[in-house]
Structure 1
């Protein structure tokens, strides 16, 4: 039996900023992006084969459509992506008046609505926003972020989680059936006192990047599992944190690389986790110690994820 919570690298592609993995049950593949290299990647979990596509500009996320193909969020806007031809067709500008911004992480909810964030590409100014994109069009839902990550939604569809990366906070919102947000509040925050239960064999406390100038790292991409736990990747944090629905830290999965950006649940039972990582921000000395930085990793878990939703309106 495969050991649980033991990450291994399945594709040593050395991404500069790997991000946003999504599971495609239709083709038994993981799709993700490398933001800085402007690449969309596909990894076939059956054969180990892979493909790389050149995006029109730095791309922050890829999201599947019910009608086939994907929407890719780029610095220059939203694009329709045909994986058969490799063609990108422009759909919509998002922030034409903010040329210093780019799009970052994205998510599709159970109603087929696309949610995504924008951010300052230089990571200095709070010009980032959270958007909802559905049949009603594009709507800004929250703002005042330097770097956004997420969002993700609880299994009952009533809570949306969204990260302020530089503040090291996961925010929670009440999410209404028609896609409106209210009651913004702190769900979890890094660099707080470690919880009492981190002595679990699958947890890592004292050696979990405490020596780093970044502390526990930064909140990167969040994902929710079928039990409502929030799994959050840690940039400069050497792993992934798992929070119970009440915000308690219940698990830490340690990685051999410091920059983990997001996970996705895949496989036939949705218990195989795939994780993107990044080499961005690492020195040559760091890279010598972390030769697999930027690779695609996988590990097994004992709780299933949620099925990948698909965009319904385009």
Structure 2
């Protein structure tokens, strides 16, 4: 695997998540500063708005407005460039904090949740992938997922792949024009079946914990490995074909491909992911490196 220079783009974060490249700049959420910001390639940050309920995944609707998760209120919010409003309330279908999202080509929004009280030490439980239709209707698109997290959609719009952070795998679905998910299958097996119940048991059984991720033009997924202190490039089937280690003492919890040529890999890093450790301090960083194959698909 290639040796790459990893550079620091931005320091002083609480916990960065949901990185996206959009219209020539990076967008990123920060859980514990409660901010959604743009960040230039040379690390100049501009806070665009605040999400008191803790922002996470984000994406753009066909009309150009931004949708972003409010984790603790179980809402997806819409920002029109000047004001925030509630786009959908998903409380009915959440077993834990709402988390990452991806917007399909038809404007359907797919969003996962933790499934249980991760930060409070609750026993692990499965969760659903929820869909918000363009008319605002909320429904369950898929059930029984082990912490559905970062998702990608292929360039043809026909396949959605979701990482199961506590399941050692990626799961794929055929994505219909109406937002339906069918033909469920394992896209990549990254380790053995997880059987633990407590958080500690589950974490001990993870070979790779796929977190925030990005699809490249070869059909591979760059995934933050939430237990491995690295990002990994995963081929369909589960082979890890490349990896980039974080600097010592840091974990990586999300990544995205972007930059003018789509070959910059932005990584959201912090010493750990526990709220009681991260919220009081500002130790999160954005890191970047260059890769060979550019971004493809969504987000």
Q: Kindly tell me: are residues 258 and 66 of structure 1, through their superposed partners in 2, closer, same or farther at Cα, counting changes over 3 Å? A: same
Q: Aligned to 1:301, which of 288, 291, 295?
A: 291
Q: Does residue 89 of the first structure (1) align with residue 72 of the second (2)?
A: no
Unaligned runs of 5+ in 2: 193-202
Q: Does residue 78 of the first structure (1) align with residue 76 of the second (2)?
A: yes
Q: Measure the CA separation in 1 of the matches of 2:116 and 2:38.
A: 25
Following superposition, the deviation at residue 14 of structure 1 comes to: 3.3
Q: Kindly tell me: are residues 283 and 263 of structure 1, through their superposed partners in 2, closer, same or farther at Cα, counting changes over 3 Å? A: closer
Contact kept, 8 Å, 1:9 with 1:296, in 2: the verdict is yes
Aligned residue number for residue 250 of structure 1: 241
Q: Aligned to 1:268, which of 253, 257, 260?
A: 260
Q: Measure the CA separation in 2 of the matches of 1:292 and 1:300.
A: 26
Q: Kindly tell me: are residues 296 and 47 of structure 1, through their superposed partners in 2, closer, same or farther at Cα, counting changes over 3 Å? A: closer
Contact kept, 8 Å, 1:277 with 1:294, in 2: the verdict is yes
Aligned residue number for residue 113 of structure 2: 118
| 274-283 or 49-58, which deviates more | 274-283
Unaligned runs of 5+ in 1: 193-211, 310-314
Q: Secondary structure at the match of 1:122?
A: coil
Aligned residue number for residue 155 of structure 2: 155
Q: Kindly tell me: are residues 110 and 69 of structure 1, through their superposed partners in 2, closer, same or farther at Cα, counting changes over 3 Å? A: closer
Q: Kindly tell me: are residues 148 and 258 of structure 1, through their superposed partners in 2, closer, same or farther at Cα, counting changes over 3 Å? A: farther
Size of the aligned set, in residue pairs, is 278
Map Cα deviations across residues 227-272 of structure 1 (whole Å, 9 max, x no partner): 2111111112111111223432211121115421222221221111
Contact kept, 8 Å, 2:154 with 2:296, in 1: the verdict is no
Q: Measure the CA separation in 1 of the matches of 2:231 and 2:61.
A: 28
| 261-270 or 111-120, which deviates more | 111-120
Q: Kindly tell me: are residues 224 and 277 of structure 1, through their superposed partners in 2, closer, same or farther at Cα, counting changes over 3 Å? A: same
Map Cα deviations across residues 87-136 of structure 1 (whole Å, 9 max, x no partner): 321222112475x5221011122333321112235123425210222325
Q: Secondary structure at the match of 1:67?
A: coil
Following superposition, the deviation at residue 57 of structure 1 comes to: 0.4
Aligned residue number for residue 6 of structure 1: 5
TM-score, normalisation: structure 2: 0.80
Q: Kindly tell me: are residues 283 and 46 of structure 1, through their superposed partners in 2, closer, same or farther at Cα, counting changes over 3 Å? A: closer
Contact kept, 8 Å, 2:150 with 2:210, in 1: the verdict is no
Aligned residue number for residue 38 of structure 2: 42
Contact kept, 8 Å, 1:63 with 1:106, in 2: the verdict is yes
Q: Kindly tell me: are residues 299 and 95 of structure 1, through their superposed partners in 2, closer, same or farther at Cα, counting changes over 3 Å? A: same
Q: Measure the CA separation in 1 of the matches of 2:156 and 2:102.
A: 16
Aligned residue number for residue 198 of structure 1: none
Q: Does residue 277 of the first structure (1) align with residue 269 of the second (2)?
A: yes
Q: How does 1:108-257 map to 2 (within 5 A)?
A: 108-120=103-115, 122-123=117-118, 124-126=123-125, 128-136=127-135, 137-191=137-191, 216-256=207-247, 257=249
Q: Does residue 259 of the first structure (1) align with residue 259 of the second (2)?
A: no
Q: Measure the CA separation in 1 of the matches of 2:180 and 2:291.
A: 32
